[in-house]
Amino acid sequence: MPWSIPITYNNARTPLRMSVPQEAEALVTENPGAYAIVHPENILFEEKLLYFGMAGPRPRALIHGLRGRLATNCPHHASQNMAQNVLLGNLPQNLVLYYYETVTRQEALILESALINLYIQEFGVLPQENTQQPHIDFGEEYIAIYDEIRGLLG
């Protein structure tokens, strides 16, 4: 399964957190998966990639999976921090989101871990908005998924 098309990610719903605008929320699946948030104006991959995250099924929520995490007012630290950086002028108003759909929450968690760890292997630091290095083993198949997003972003 390939990465999604690029989707706008901004603070139009509320200045307190970033999300997919309401008119684009149908573009985001309700299935679990991992996602990448990107600074569209930067040229180099290590400056362009801001954050890797994941979302599980969200069984108690009205909107599930990636859509429930990314296209609602669901608070989470990274979206709040990025919204603050937009307000301070450190990030542009419109960022870009790509997601990679998985079947299970566990698979999404492993994919997120793999993406963060592969980024660290390549650049020696966490992506700008990630705050912790996950410690979950992952297989070789995740390298191709990382290479694919790296190729999409340059």
CATH of the domain at 56: 3.40.1440.10
This prediction's pTM: 0.94
What's residue 77's pLDDT?
86
What's residue 76's pLDDT?
80
Q: How many domains does the chain have?
A: 1
Tell me, yes or no, whether 74 lies in a domain: yes
What's residue 19's pLDDT?
92
Tokens of 41: 């104006």
pLDDT (tens digit per residue) in 70-115: 887 677 889 999 999 999 999 999 999 999 999 999 999 999 999 9
What are the mean pLDDT values of the chain's consecutive 10-residue runs (154 residues total)?
94 90 93 96 95 87 84 81 94 96 95 97 96 90 96 91
What's residue 55's pLDDT?
92
Most distant pair of Cα atoms in the chain: their distance: 40
Tell me, yes or no, whether 1 lies in a domain: no
